[in-house]
Amino acid sequence: MRAEGRDAAFAVILSRAPRVLLVQKADGRWGLPGGGIRRGESPREAVLRELEEETGFRARKASLVGSLPRSGRRAFVFVLPKRRLRGRLVGRTKEILRQLWVTPSRARRLLTNGNALRLSLALPHALRLVGR
């Protein structure tokens, strides 16, 4: 679902290795799981919904680390350690070509559209959550 004109919520998911989960959008660009917040939905509800839609993973909670400007709106950034996730990666979906676990440094090189900035905001918090 396109999120222009709406606030959005994104997830930085980190494994203990550490590896960050990225999604390759239908347009070929890499991003963090996430997207637009629907009317009546909280940022946390949105990020958990988008997480399941784009990856197949489910979670009960996500930790908000902050928000950043995004085209006149806000992008809320959450962190989740991989150990709190249930389910498994679904592979290709209607919106996502694939998901990939990568090192934080590789994630910074692959990310576009403000996602690298969102990763930079969340990574210190995520590393603490996974005990790094």
Domains of the chain, by residue range, sit at: 8-129
Distance CA(26)–CA(71), nearest Å, equals 21
Q: In whole angstroms, what separates CA 86 from the centre of its chain?
A: 16
* 73-81/63-70 β-pairing: antiparallel
Q: What is the pLDDT of residues 118-127, one digit of tens each?
A: 999 998 888 8
Q: What is the pLDDT of residues 78-99, one digit of tens each?
A: 999 999 999 999 999 989 999 9
CATH class of 8-129: alpha beta
Rg of the chain on CA atoms, in Å: 13
pTM for this one?
0.90
